Amino acid sequence: MSEAPARLSLQEITRIYDGIKVVDRLSLDVEAGVVICLLGPSGCGKSTSLRIAAGVERQSSGRVLLGGRVISDEHCHAPPETRSVGLMFQEFALFPHLSVAENVAFGLGPDENRADRVRELLARVGLARFGDKYPHQLSGGEQQRVALARALAPRPHVMLMDEPFSGLDKRLRDEIRDETLAILKDEGAAVLLVTHEPEEAMRMADQIALMREGRIVQVASPYNIYNTPVDLEAAAFFSELNVISSRVHGAQTDTPFGLFLAPGHEDGAWVDIAIRPQHLRIDFDRGGQGPAPSVEHGVWARGHVTRARFMGGESLVELRMDHDGRVLKAAVSGVFLPAPGTPLWLALRRDRCFVFPGRGPRHDG
């Protein structure tokens, strides 16, 4: 038995402006009930891809399919209103002269039971008593809920969302995101969400499609894209990194923290060993006094504290390493604020290090 077609399928989508490929052969499938985040820096082609999926913009080449049916290619282009697609953008774009209930009902056809659907959705977004109010009487979070209810009113097969939470403050943003995700899952729509915030993608997505310069460079679950990044840039997009450069000899490379395996890299090639601050281990007991303590999976290297900051749930300690003067950052749970100049020993969580092709020695700080 063959699998059902994806609700939304973008196939080899390319968009060219003035000879520049803004989107370059992008392919992506979004299944019913699945949230996929297009994640990447500003200008990488995320929003253009979303507008092409919506039909607001037409691709230079490639195909858009909805439920297995071609809705846009070189021969045809279905307009947005015929696509059964819900749209939410950064601006809520509510009609100021319409009440909340009238805004939600705007996209419903004349044959639908409009009043019942509006009541149902306003109750789901926690605005059951706000139907007679107008947008200017609502907070930003309440306006976002109205925009969500309006987008869901016609029961779209696909929901397209472009940075819909960026205008909200952080506390409210987290709350609204969680509520929105629960409603979208209940509706069973295929969801394509654009964001430049890794935290938002990790919080909402079933799958993250990481974009760079118009192309998707990796598609994976939040866990896998964080723990098995495809390259150094992908790893750095999700957190700060410490990077140590070293040459390969005999499929391994030697560092002040011991030997690391480097399979697949030629002898003499440079590699970058990347590790996140939370995976650096500090020797608290010795405080850097005496010889380097032993560690089961590597060796310790000494540095001196240059700065320590309390970040809330953790402390970030910066150390200038004795062996080459580079600055490494270590994250420590709770409060740990050693004075500048304090000597400390560091070791790496070797199972959490990434080894990528490198460009040569680098020194931070």
**DSSP class of residue 130?**
-
Domain-located, residue 351: yes
How many Å apart are CA 203 and CA 218, to the nearest integer? 18
Question: Is the pLDDT reported for residue 91 higher than 70?
Answer: yes
Q: Which pLDDT score, from 0 to 100, does residue 288 have?
A: 46
**CATH assignment of the domain containing 76:** 3.40.50.300
CA distance 68 to 53: 14
Domain extent for 298? 241-357
Residue 3 lies in a domain: no
Same domain, 214 and 264: no
Q: Are 215 and 24 in contact (CB under 8 A)?
A: yes
CB atoms closer than 10 angstroms to residue 95: 12
The structure tokens 């930003």 sit at 140
**pLDDT digit string (tens) for 108-131?**
877 667 888 999 999 988 899 999
- Per residue in 31-61, pLDDT tens? 999 999 999 999 999 999 999 999 999 999 9
- Contact call for residues 364 and 326 (beta carbons, < 8 A): yes
Can you say whether the dihedral through the CA atoms of 27, 32, 37, 42 is positive or negative?
A: positive
Task: Give a yes or no: residue 21 inside a domain.
Answer: yes
Please tell me whether residues 207 and 70 are part of one structural domain. yes
Query: To the nearest whole number, what is the mean pLDDT of the chain?
Result: 88
pLDDT computed for residue 227 by the predictor: 94
Check residue 363 and give its pLDDT: 52
Which of residues 331 and 113 earns the better pLDDT score?
331
> Residue 309's CB: how many other CB atoms inside 10 A?
10
Whether residue 65 is found in the same domain as residue 164: yes
Q: Which stretch of 46-50, 213-217, 280-284 has the lowest confidence by average pLDDT?
A: 280-284
- Give how many domains the chain has, as a whole number: 2
Answer yes or no: are the C-beta atoms of 300 and 293 closer than 8 Å: yes
User: Cα–chain-centroid distance for residue 109?
Assistant: 36
Final residue in a domain of this structure, among 187, 211, 235 = 235
Query: 364 lies in a domain?
Result: no
Examine the domain organization and report whether 191 and 327 are in the same domain: no
In a domain, 145, yes or no: yes
**Is residue 160 in a domain?**
yes
Of 216, 235, 254, which residue is a domain's last?
235
263 and 212 inside one domain: no
**Distance of CA 56 to CAs 12, 48, 85, 147, 233, Å?**
18, 9, 11, 18, 31
pTM over cut 0.75: yes
Last residue of a domain, one of 171, 200, 235: 235
What are 166-201's pLDDT values in tens digits?
Answer: 877 877 888 888 888 888 888 888 999 999 999 999
Chain length of the chain: 365
Same domain, 130 and 279: no
Query: Are 49 and 173 within one domain?
Result: yes
User: Residue 291 — very low, low, confident or very high, per pLDDT cuts 50/70/90?
Assistant: low
Q: 136: helix, coil or strand?
A: helix
Q: What is the mean pLDDT of residues 220-243?
A: 95
**Residues 206 and 257 reside in one and the same domain:** no
Residues 302 and 339 in one domain: yes
Give the mean pLDDT of 240-248. 92
Q: Which two tokens stand for residue 1?
A: 């038995």
- Residue 284's pLDDT band (cuts 50, 70, 90): low
Residue-level pLDDT at 4: 63
Q: At what angle do helices 114-124 and 140-152 cross, to 10 degrees?
A: 140
Q: What is the pLDDT of residues 346-360, one digit of tens each?
A: 988 888 899 999 877
Mean pLDDT of 67-87: 91
pLDDT at 285: 56
Please check whether residues 278 and 166 belong to one and the same domain: no
pLDDT at 21: 95
| Cβ–Cβ < 8 Å for 331, 280 | yes
By CB neighbour count within 10 A (0-12 exposed, 13-18 middle, 19+ buried), where does 332 fall? buried
Which of 81-90, 129-138, 287-296, 349-358 reaches the highest mean pLDDT?
129-138
Does residue 27 lie within any of the structural domains? yes
Q: Give domain status of residue 1, yes or no.
A: no
CATH number reported for the structural domain that contains residue 272 in this entry: 2.40.50.140
Distance CA 317, CA 332 (A): 8
Model confidence band, residue 364 (pLDDT cutoffs 50, 70, 90): low
Is pLDDT above 60 for 211? yes
263 and 205 in a common domain? no
Domain check: are 268 and 130 in the same one?
Answer: no
